[in-house]
């Protein structure tokens, strides 16, 4: 296996830069990063720890974020075919359906749709994206019909926004289709606006803000999330609405850090922490808002800010099993690994964290651009010394090698 067989974000930056006929000096000037730093990144001697660095380089090179991350990453076997067909079907529903016109096709009772939607969440949490993607298009289609007919509109809209659109957003995002994730979040907002429900509007804007992360729209994500939190606060949120309010502040915090404005994130983190003290460990709509999740998001913020040592400290005080979701538990180990990876002396611990995340949710971790980049970088630079067989096995299972 040669270095040329393993693509990293750094190697893609070099390829795009050369394709543009751009020197390192020019790229440095346009991106605001030093020539020396960029040279080390291109040669995998330094990792791009921050999303804002990747976004700045993509903008300077006039390429999309996915051109540098290599998304979408292909799945294999039956799961691949099921996932792809499900994504195409989701897109077709969004393009062919509206919330204001009933086609007379009918839909199953809401209790049946609700049970099916909850099953989708369980499938995704179990990393069965093929099964989840296969069920979502019919649910999305039937709820369009239920909302358009006006029968039980409020109840149908809540199920549409908080469960079906949310699950579909995450499936589309993780499978590398951010445009469909955005379309779903935007449709959720349209539905929420039709019933003028502050909590649902806030929830939809949480989805919209999160969808923007996948395309590097961090500043807009911060603006969307901040405005939505301010609007929801005007209605004195309680219960589930308070959880949504807290999640919006977490979105705004991570968006701020990802936009290179880590200091601006601190008031949002403080507000989310205060809210979590009121809600406790809440489980509404699989948001998992509460002290544990706030601390996992704090780990993400700290990794983004480049303080890997602090991530280790934060992780030691968090019990991820307090959240009954393999997906969120996997997120804890991903952020721990991202923090550890900022020091190459931690390669073995980094690999252990990523491996644990992959055990909890293989598809989510396989589709995570930063995890893939760290694994690929370790493969290129270590000559298999930092994990040996274990590293090769994880790289192979993630499809990092060619």
The CATH code of the domain that includes 8 is 1.10.260.40
Average pLDDT over residues 373-393: 73
Q: Is there a domain that residue 263 lies in?
A: yes
In a domain, residue 279? The reply is: yes
User: Residue 295 domain-assigned?
Assistant: no
Dihedral in degrees, nearest 10, Cα atoms 209, 118, 161, 81: 70
The answer to which of 95-104, 231-240, 311-320, 361-370 has the lowest mean pLDDT is: 361-370
- Which sign does the torsion angle of CA 39, 44, 50, 54 carry? positive
Structural domain including 214 reads: 197-289
Please name which of 174, 151, 168 lies closest in space to residue 102, comparing C-alpha atoms: 151
Does the pLDDT at position 402 exceed 50?
no
Q: Look at the chain and report how many structural domains it folds into.
A: 4
Residue 10 lies in a domain: yes
Residues 167, 209, single domain; the answer is no
Query: Radius of gyration of the chain from Cα atoms?
Result: 21
Q: Do residues 149 and 95 share a domain? A: yes
Domain termination residue (choose one: 144, 164, 196) = 196
- The verdict on 153 and 77 lying in the same domain is yes
Whether 304 is covered by a domain: the verdict is no
Task: Determine how many CB atoms are found less than 10 A away from the CB of residue 153.
Answer: 17
Domain assignment present for 230: yes
Can you tell me the distance from the alpha carbon of 377 to that of 358, in angstroms, rounded to the nearest whole number?
Answer: 18
Predicted confidence band at 72 (pLDDT cuts at 50, 70, 90)?
Answer: confident
On whether residue 305 sits in a domain, the answer given is no
Helix residue ranges per DSSP H, 97-128: 110-125
Least confident residue range of 80-89, 94-103, 179-188, 229-238 = 80-89
280 and 210 part of one domain: yes
pLDDT band at 78 (very low <50, low <70, confident <90, very high): low
Whether residue 269 is predicted with pLDDT greater than 50 in this model: the reply is: yes
Tell which of 228, 255, 289 closes a domain: 289
**Cα 147 from Cα 142, distance rounded (Å):** 9
The neighbouring-strand residues paired with 6 are: 401
Q: Stretch 62-79: mean pLDDT, rounded?
A: 77
Whether 205 and 119 map to the same domain: the answer is no
Q: Is the model more confident about 360 or about 67? A: 360
Same structural domain for residues 171 and 273? no
Of 167, 196, 225, the last residue of a domain is: 196
Q: Is residue 383 part of a domain?
A: yes
pLDDT of residue 387: 52
């Amino acid at each position: 296996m040669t270095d040329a067989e393993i693509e990293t974000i750094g190697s893609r930056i070099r390829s795009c830069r050369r394709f543009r006929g751009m020197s390192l000096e020019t790229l440095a000037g346009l991106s605001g990063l030093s020539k020396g730093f960029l040279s080390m990144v291109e040669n995998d001697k330094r990792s791009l720890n921050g999303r804002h660095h990747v976004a700045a380089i993509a903008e300077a090179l006039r390429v999309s974020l996915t051109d540098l991350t290599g998304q979408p990453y292909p799945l294999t076997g039956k799961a691949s075919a099921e996932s792809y067909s499900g994504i195409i079907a989701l897109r077709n529903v969004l393009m062919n359906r509206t919330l204001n016109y009933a086609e007379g096709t009918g839909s199953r009772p809401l209790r049946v749709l609700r049970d099916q939607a909850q099953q989708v969440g369980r499938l995704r949490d179990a990393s069965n994206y093929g099964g989840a993607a296969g069920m979502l298009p019919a649910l999305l289609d039937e709820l369009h019909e239920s909302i358009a007919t006006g029968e039980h509109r409020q109840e149908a809209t809540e199920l549409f926004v908080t469960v079906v659109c949310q699950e579909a957003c995450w499936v589309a995002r993780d499978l590398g289709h951010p445009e469909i994730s955005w379309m779903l979040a935007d449709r959720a907002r349209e539905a929420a606006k039709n019933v003028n429900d502050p909590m649902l509007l806030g929830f939809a804007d949480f989805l919209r803000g999160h969808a923007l992360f996948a395309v590097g729209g961090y500043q807009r994500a911060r603006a969307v999330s901040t405005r939505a939190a301010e609007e929801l606060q005007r209605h004195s949120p309680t219960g589930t609405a308070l959880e949504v309010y807290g999640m919006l502040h977490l979105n705004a915090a991570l968006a701020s850090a990802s936009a290179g404005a880590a200091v601006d994130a601190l008031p949002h983190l403080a507000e989310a922490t205060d809210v979590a003290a009121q809600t406790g460990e809440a489980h509404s709509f699989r948001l998992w808002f509460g002290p544990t999740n706030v601390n996992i998001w704090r780990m993400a913020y700290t990794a983004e800010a480049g303080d890997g040592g602090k991530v280790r400290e934060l992780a030691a005080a968090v019990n991820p099993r307090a959240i009954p979701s393999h997906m969120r538990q996997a997120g804890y180990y991903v952020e721990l690994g991202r923090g550890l990876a900022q020091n190459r002396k931690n390669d073995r611990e980094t690999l252990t964290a990523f491996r644990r995340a992959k055990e909890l949710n293989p598809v989510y971790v396989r589709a995570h651009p930063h995890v893939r980049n760290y694994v690929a970088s370790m493969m290129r630079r270590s000559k298999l010394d930092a994990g040996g067989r274990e590293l090769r096995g994880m790289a192979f299972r993630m499809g990092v090698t060619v």
